Chains A and B, each alone.
Chain A
Amino acid sequence: MYQYNDLDQALVEERVAQFRRQTEQFLAGEMPEDHFRALRLRNGLYIQTHAPMLRVAGPYGLLNAQQLRKLAHIARHYDKSYCHFTTRQNIQFNWPKLEQVPDILAELATVQMHAIQTSGNCMRNTTSDHLAGVCVDEIEDPRPYCEIIRQWTTLHPEFDYLPRKFKMAVSGALHDRAATQFHDIGLHLVKNADGVVGFKVLVGGGLGRTPVIGQVIKPFLEKKHLLSYLEAILRIYNLFGRRDNKYKARIKILVRETGLAEFSAMVEQEWLLIRDHNELAAERINKVIAQFAPPAYEADAKLDTSFAQHQQSNAAFASWVQHNTADHKIAGYRAAYISLKAPDSPPGDITDVQLDVVADLTEQYSFGEIRATHRQNLILADVKQADLYPLWQALAAQQLATPNIGTVTDMICCPGLDFCSLANAGSIGIAKEINEALDDIDYLHDIGELKINMSGCMNGCAHQSVGHIGILGVDKKGTEWYQLTLGGSSENEAAIGERLGPAVAKDQVTQAILTILDVYLKQRLEDEPFLDMVNRVGITPFKEHVYANH
Chain B
Amino acid sequence: MQIIKDQQIIDDTWQYVADDASLVNGDICVSLARWQQDKQLLQSHDGKLGVRIGPADPVADIAADLSALQLVELDFPDFADGRLFTAAWLLRARYHFQGEIRATGHFMTGQVFYLSKVGVNAFCPDKTNDLPVVLANLHDFTVSYQNAIS
Which positions in A face B, CB cutoff 8 Å? 7, 10-11, 14-15, 18, 22, 25, 31, 35, 38-39, 121, 151-152, 154-163, 235, 238-239, 243, 273, 278
Contact = CB atoms under 8 A, between A and B. Distances in A.
B147 interface: yes
B69 interface: no
A161 B113 contact: no
A39 B114 contact: no
Interface string B59-103: 000000000000000000001111101100100001000000000
Interface string B108-145: 11110111011000000000000001000000111111
B94 A273 contact: yes
Contacts of B118: 157-158
B85 A159 contact: yes
A419 B108 CA distance: 30
Given A35-B108, A121-B80, A161-B79, A156 B141 contact: no
A278 B144 contact: no
B83 A151 contact: no
B79 A160 contact: no
16 contacts: A11-B141, A11-B143, A14-B140, A14-B141, A35-B79, A35-B108, A38-B80, A38-B108, A152-B145, A156-B146, A157-B144, A158-B114, A161-B79, A162-B82, A235-B86, A238-B83
Nearest to B147: A278
Given A35-B108, A38-B108, A157 B85 contact: yes
B140 A18 contact: yes
Interface residues of B, number: 28
Given A14-B140, A161-B81, A243-B81, A151 B86 contact: no
A155 B83 contact: no
Contact of B114 (A10, A31, A157, A239): A157
Contacts of A14: 140-143
A160 B117 CA distance: 12
B114 A160 contact: yes
A155 B80 contact: no
A158 B143 contact: no
Contacts of B133: 25
Given A10-B142, A14-B140, A22 B82 contact: no
A342 B34 CA distance: 67
Nearest to B136: A21
B147 to A, nearest CB: 7
Nearest to B85: A158
Nearest to A9: B143
B112 to A, nearest CB: 11
A161 B82 CA distance: 4
A161 B146 contact: no
A22 B108 CA distance: 11
Interface centre among B81, B83, B110, B140 (most CB of A within 10 A): B110
Nearest to B139: A14
Given A157-B113, A157-B146, A238 B85 contact: yes
Interface centre among B80, B86, B113, B145 (most CB of A within 10 A): B145
B143 A7 contact: yes
